[in-house]
Structure 1
Amino acid sequence: MRSKVGFIGCGNMAQAIIKGMVKAKVIENSSIMVSNPSSEKLEKIKEECGVSITNDNKQIALESDIIVLSVKPNKYEEVIDEIKELVQKTAVIVIIAAGVSIEKTRIMFKNNKISVVRAMPNTPALVGEAMTAVAPCKEINEAELKEVMEIFNAFGKCEIVDEKLMDVVTGVSGSSPAYVYMFIEAMADAAVLNGMPREKAYKFAAQSVLGAAKMVLETGNHPGKLKDDVCSPSGTTIEAVYTLEKIGFRSSVISAVDACVKKSKLMSK
């Protein structure tokens, strides 16, 4: 990657992205610059990753080819108002805040031609296993999109989606780590109920979820087939599956994701 990448904001997600980029060596450390009001966070990321730091958002705007706006949604208008006159004409703006659309971003920049990519990574970015949806504006060119994809592939996996699916992305990947944590916790509670020490229970449950997910991704088999392969006739697994079906496990998950998508749509209006 030859572009200079600037981050406005140095929260957990920005740090995860930067660390992923540095670890994957998709860009020279010196080509990454980060701004943040707090010098403490900046000094830490500089020490860990060898990137350039500044307290001045305007410097990011002036010097960056790709600008990642990694601040809270309620700070977007304030930050954009500060930098909108200084951003290079060829710059690509990457937005990662929930509920902030490409159109809204262009309105805030007062520029309906500025190149914007909307992305939604999730919290497993912190361990290099994010799932990120990327929705580019129509004006983005192939080389620019490739560089943005390199950024998000550096700390997990990413897929291009139509922007209208971003609310669905919120339900199926953006918010879903919380559902999985609840599932792991519940399985561990059941193991503790049956005599297993708590720490071992979490490890057994979490590793099983990790392994099952890798089976789906790496074998390419339908989840239903993989489930069938584990269920022996009259065995323990089919007994558990029967119980889950009886209490509405799948319908509960579908309802939860659907509720999340609907809430996201309301917030995006």
Structure 2
Amino acid sequence: MADQVNAPTLGFIGFGNMAQAMAKGLVEAGALPGTRIYATAAHFDKLQASTAALGAHACEDARGVVKASDFVVVAVKPHLVASVLEPVRDALAAPGKAVISVAAGCGFDFYEGVLAPGTHHLSTIPNTPIAVGAGVVACEQRHSLSEGELAAFEDLFGQVALIEWVDGKLLSTASAIAGCGPAFAAMFLEALGDAGVKHGLP
């Protein structure tokens, strides 16, 4: 059980399948209470239902998420990242804020062009088994987090995932393997069971 009193606050800009898997994993593992999680998404009524299930906070816009959060997770489709972050560009550069991206294909150089100079950021790709504390998070070796932020990130997400550091040019490859691997594993495990039954195993 983590020290929840001193745990960071975590905000999600976008609260689709991956963001919800991350939040669910953290809450159910006892790594972070839902009360320290904030989220915003395009459909507020759906967002309210999703956050309520975790005891988290639904925010009407990205500004609310950034204001409340130490770590801000960018979890929208890659083509939306720049436009979604523009209104909070300056706020994200404030002391005590760090951006964690889970948007595929958006690496360090991309964020250097989108975020305000001096913004602390890290590009990652998690996979959905993080929802049950068995995830993998591929992280780009090049980042601008402080030592303290990096330690806090690893301490938090290390409770629900194996954290692997890779060169930026390998991030997409690592994320494809980590992201698709569980689905292929589920398929062949199911096929093994079906084959056993077909040939007479109870």
| Aligned mates of 1:42, 1:14 — CA distance in 2 | 11
| Aligned mates of 1:13, 1:23 — CA distance in 2 | 15
| Aligned mates of 1:118, 1:174 — CA distance in 2 | 15
Q: Structure 1 residues 3 and 128, CA, compared in 2 at 3 Å: closer, same or farther?
A: closer
* Structure with higher strand content: 2
Cα deviation per residue 1:136-195 (whole Å; 9 max; x = unaligned)? 544322210122123322323223333333133124322212321332233234223313
| Aligned mates of 1:69, 1:38 — CA distance in 2 | 16
Q: TM-score, normalised by structure 2?
A: 0.84
Letter of the structure 2 residue corresponding to residue 75 of structure 1: L
Mapped contact 1:16–1:155 kept (Cα < 8 A):
no
RMSD: 2.2
Structure 2 residue 48 is matched with structure 1 residue 43: yes
Which residue does 2:197 correspond to in 1?
192
* Structure with higher helix content: 1
Mapped contact 1:62–1:88 kept (Cα < 8 A):
no
Shift, 1:92, TM fit = 0.8
Structure 2 residue 130 is matched with structure 1 residue 131: no
Q: TM-score, normalised by structure 1?
A: 0.65
Q: Which has the higher contact order (CA 8 A, sep 6+)?
A: 2
| Aligned mates of 1:85, 1:112 — CA distance in 2 | 9
Shift, 1:196, TM fit = 4.2
Letter of the structure 2 residue corresponding to residue 20 of structure 1: G
Instruction: Tell me whether 117-126 or 170-179 shows the greater mean CA deviation.
Output: 170-179
Mapped contact 1:12–1:126 kept (Cα < 8 A):
no
SS in 2 for 1:195: coil
Q: Structure 1 residues 138 and 57, CA, compared in 2 at 3 Å: closer, same or farther?
A: closer
Q: Structure 1 residues 10 and 65, CA, compared in 2 at 3 Å: closer, same or farther?
A: same
Instruction: Tell me whether 165-174 or 141-150 shows the greater mean CA deviation.
Output: 165-174
Letter of the structure 1 residue corresponding to residue 69 of structure 2: S
Mapped contact 2:66–2:91 kept (Cα < 8 A):
yes
Cα deviation per residue 1:79-127 (whole Å; 9 max; x = unaligned)? 1122213324232110011111111122122x34321111111121233
Shift, 1:9, TM fit = 1.1
Structure 2 residue 28 is matched with structure 1 residue 30: no
Q: Structure 1 residues 46 and 172, CA, compared in 2 at 3 Å: closer, same or farther?
A: closer
**Residue 155 of structure 1, aligned match among 152, 160, 163:** 160
Mapped contact 2:38–2:57 kept (Cα < 8 A):
yes
Count of residue pairs brought into register by the alignment? 196
**Residue 101 of structure 1, aligned match among 103, 107, 119:** 107
| Aligned mates of 2:46, 2:156 — CA distance in 1 | 21
| Aligned mates of 1:50, 1:170 — CA distance in 2 | 29
SS in 2 for 1:133: strand
